[in-house]
Structure 1
Amino acid sequence: MSNFTSVHIRREAAIEKPQKHVALLIETSNEYARGLLAGIKSYIRTHRPWSIYLGEHSRLGTDLSWLNNWRGDGILARIENKEIAEYVRMLNVPTVDLSASRLLEYLPCVETHNETIAIWAAEHLSSRGLKHYAYCGDPGFRWSVERGKHFEHYLQQKKGYTVHTFQHESKSTVMDERLLMAEWLQQLPKPIGIMACYDITAQSLLEACRLAGVTVPEQAAIIGVDNDDLLCNLSSPPLSSIQPDTVKSGYLAASLLDRMMSGETIAPQTYLIEPVKVITRMSTDVIAVEDPYVSSAIQFIREHAYEDLKVEDVLRHIPLSRRSLDHRFMNALDRTPHEEIIQVRMKLLMRLLSETDWTLPVIAERLGYKHPEYMGVAFKKFTGMSPGAFREHHKGITL
C-alpha cells in the first residue's frame, strides 16, 4: 500500500469520527448535580473526548441564550421545567434526561431510585426507636414528591405510623418560610424523625429548629439526601444524609448519549440508580426516650462533649440524685450516665481521628483530656484499638 493510500485512509477515518459537541444543561450549585458532572467527566476520560458546552445555569433557570448559536451533536440535561423541555425539543438532537420530572417522555432518563432512598431514610429513623415521623419537601419537583410518597407509604404500610408533611411555599421569602417551618415544628409530636427531600432543605430545617427551640437530635432527628459533605459538616449539628450514586448516574447517561450520537436507538425508559449508603452524623445520633430528665441529660452531655465532663456536672443541671438518674438512664437506655458520657466522647474522638490530621495531644486538648495517654487508654478500652490503629483503618471515612 502506498504512502498516499495510507494517508488517505487515515484522513477518511478522521472524517468519519469527528469530535462530538455536547451541551450540558446541568447546574453546578448543588452536590447532586456536581456528582453527575463528575460521572460525565469520568466517561469522557476513558472514551473519545467531546467538546463540552457548559454555561451558567441554575436548576430552574430558563435563560439558554448561551446556546443560541450552538450547533451540536447531543445534550445531557436536567429538564426541570417546561421552558427547558421546549428548548430541548426544538434543538432536536440526541438527548438524555437526568431529571425525574420526565417532561419529555420520549427521551431515555437516568435517575436515582427515589423509593430506595425513602425506604432507607424511614428505616434509619425507625431504628432510633422513634414513633413519630414527618417529611419536609418541595412540591415543585417530582423527585421530592416521589420521595415523600414512598416515605409515607413505607411507614404507614410497614410500620403503621402517620407521617406529617410540610411543603415548601414557592412564593414565600426565605425568612417567611423558616418561620412557617418553625411554627410547624413546634406543633409536631416529639420526639420525631424528619426526612428532608435533600440536604439544602434539611439545613433550613435545622435553622427552623433553632427558631422554634426544638433540640436536634433529641426532639427532632433530621436526615437529608445528597450527602453534600461541606454543607452537612458545616451544619449544627452535623447532618445525616443519604448518598446517591450520582457519579454512576452521570457515567451511564454519557454512555447512553454516546450510543445515540453514533446512530443507535435507545428505548425511552427510566434507568434507576440505587443509592450508595446512609451517612450517620449527629443530627440523627439519638435513641428516642420519653423520660424528660434523661432527654435533658443527653442534650447536656452532647453540648459539653468537648469538656472534661463528669456525672456531677450533669447532676448540677438535672434536679435528681445520682441514684435516681442512674436508674432512669438504665430504664431508658440500658446504660448509666457515666457510660453515656464515655460513648458520646469516644464517638467524637473517632470522628476527629478519621476526619482530621490533628495529633493526639491536640485532640486530647480539644476534648478536655489532661493527658493524651489517658485518652488513648480510654479509647482502646472502648474500641479495642489504639487511636493510631483506628486512624490508619478509617482515614478519610466520614463517621
Structure 2
Amino acid sequence: MPIIGISLRFQDSFDSQVARGIIEYAKAKNDWSLRGSGGGLRPLKYTGRDRCDAVIARIESAQDADRYASLGIPVVDIAGAHTRHEIHRVQNDDFATGRRAGEYLRRLGARSFAYCGVQKVHWSRQRLLGFTEAAGISVDTMPRFERSLPWWQQSTPSPALRSWLRQLPEPTAIFCCNDIAGVKAIAHASDIALDIPSRLTLLGVDDEDLLCTLCNPSLSSVRLDCATIGFRGAALIDTMLESAPMRIPNQPHIVLVPPQEVVERESTTVVLEKDPVVAQAVRYIRTNFSKAITVEDVVHHCSVSRRNLEIRFKQARGMTIHAEIAQMRLIQACKLLKQTDLTIETIASECAFPNVQRFHVLFKRAFGSTPGNWRLR
C-alpha cells in the first residue's frame, strides 16, 4: 500500500482546501494510505523512502526545498516559492493571478498602481509580473514594498511601510501578493489616516474569509482554486508512482491552476475615474448590469447629452458604454459558469443578455469558445 505524505501546516484555508482536494482524489484509490501533518492525519516524518513513497508538500524555504529534493522519492510542491529540478509543482498560476488583479483594478478606473510583495520567492515575483503586464507598467517603474514572509506575518508597526504609503500619489491601487500583506497594509494606512478606498484601494490574494472580513475596512481578494491544486497534485503523484522512470526527473512537471474570481469587499468599493460623470456612469453600470439597461438608461442617469457622455467615457475607459455593459455581463456569466450548474439559457437570462444566441456570439468573441466548452475546460 503506497504511503502518501502530506506536508502542510494547516494554519490557513489554503492548506485546508488543498488537503480537501487530495483527500477527494485519494478516496478513489483503495490502496492509498495518507500520512500527514494536521487534521486527523498522523504526524509526517521526513526520513525519506522508508516512511513515504511520495510527498505532497508546501515548500516555502530554500532549506526545505533542498531537503525534499534529496529524498529520492516523487515530491509535488503546491507553493511554488522555491524551484528545484527534482521537485514537481502543481500550483496556482501566479502570473495569471497578478494579471487578473491588474485587469480588475483597471476596470475600477485605476491609473496609479503599486505592489506589496514577498521578496525572493517565485510566486510573488510571478504575481508582480502579471500585475505589471495588465497595468501596462514596466516592472522597474512599479512602486514596490517587498519584505520576507515572516516580516509580513509580524504585527509590529513599521515606520518604513507607513512612509512608503504616504509617498504614493492619490488615488493609488495597491495589489498585495497575499491577504496577510493586504491586512498589514490596511492597518498601516489607517494608522496614518489614509482613507480606503478613495485614497488607497487595496486588493489581496487567497480570500482568507475571516482575515479579510475582520480587518477594517474589509479586504477584497483574488480567490484561488486550492481544492483543484490538491486534486491535481494527487493525480500527478499517482502518475509518477505508476511510472518508475519519472521518480527522478530531468525536468519537473509543472501544472498551473488558474485563479478564480475577485471577491469584492470594502477596500475596492469605489470607482477611481477622475471624470465625475464617467465615474457616475460606471457606478450605475456596475449596480444595474444584470438588469435590461441600455446606453440610454446610463445617459439619463448621468443627466448629460449622449454624445458628451460617449466621448468622455471612451476617452476615460478606452471602450464604449455599450461595451462596458457587455463586459460586466460577461464577467458575471463566467462566475456563474464556474460556480453553478445553471443552464446556459438561465445564465444568459440572469446576466440580462437579450437572448441566448446573443450571449453565445458575445462570449465566443470575448473568449474564443462557446460558454459550454469554456465551462468544461
Q: Same fold (TM over 0.5)?
A: yes
CA contact (8 A) 1:137 1:196 kept: yes
Contact 1:74 / 1:93 at 8 angstroms: preserved in 2?
yes
1:373-392 Cα deviation digits (max 9, x unpaired) = xxxxxxxxxxx9xxxxxxxx
Indicate whether 1:166 and 2:150 are aligned: no
- Is the contact made by 1:226 and 1:243 (CA closer than 8 Å) also made in structure 2? yes
**Could you say what secondary structure the match of 2:70 adopts?**
helix
1:138 aligns with 2:118: yes
Paired position in structure 2 for 1:181: 161
Of residues 202, 206, 209, the one that matches 1:222 is 202
Local SS of the residue matching 2:239: helix
Mean alpha-carbon deviation: is it higher for 141-150 or for 117-126?
141-150
Mapped partners of 1:109, 1:161: distance in 2: 28
Q: For residues 162 and 67 of structure 1, do their structure 2 counterparts lie closer, same or farther at Cα, with a shift above 3 Å needed?
A: closer
1:67 and 2:46 correspond: yes
- Alignment check: 8 A CA contact 1:155 1:161 kept: no
- Give the whole-Å Cα distance in 2 for the aligned partners of 1:223 and 1:171: 20
CA RMSD of aligned residues (A): 3.4
Q: Tell me the TM-score normalised to structure 2 length.
A: 0.65
Q: 1:270 aligns with which of 247, 251, 254?
A: 254
* Alpha-carbon separation, structure 2, partners of 1:233 and 1:145: 26
Output the CA distance in 2 between the equivalents of 1:275 and 1:95: 23
- Contact kept? 1:133, 1:162, Cα under 8 Å: no
Question: 1:123 and 1:71 mapped to 2: Cα distance?
Answer: 46
Q: Give 3-state SS (helix, strand or coil) of 1:254's partner.
A: helix
- Larger mean CA deviation between 197-206 and 32-41 belongs to 32-41
Q: Which has the larger radius of gyration?
A: 1
Q: CA deviation at 1:43?
A: 0.8
Q: 1:281 aligned to 262, 265, 274, which one?
A: 265
TM-score normalised according to structure 1 size: 0.61
Q: Identity over the aligned pairs, expressed in percent?
A: 26
For 1:178, give the aligned amino acid.
S
Q: Distance in 2 between matches of 1:256 and 1:166?
A: 36
Q: Residue 94 and residue 219 in structure 1: after superposition, are their counterparts in 2 closer, same or farther (change >3 A)?
A: same
Shift of 1:107: 2.9
Distance in 2 separating the partners of 1:25 and 1:171: 19
Match of 2:107 among 119, 127, 139: 127
1:171, 1:112 → 2: CA distance? 21
Matches of 1:169 and 1:42, distance apart in 2: 33
* Pair 1:78–1:65, CA change in 2 (3 A): closer
Amino acid at match of 1:46: A
- In the alignment, residue 183 of structure 2 is paired with which amino acid? Q
Q: How many residues align?
A: 276
Q: How many Å apart are 1:153 and its aligned residue?
A: 3.2
**2:55 counterpart SS class:** strand
Match of 2:13 in 1: 31
Distance 1:35 1:177 in 2: 31
2:29 maps to 1:47: yes
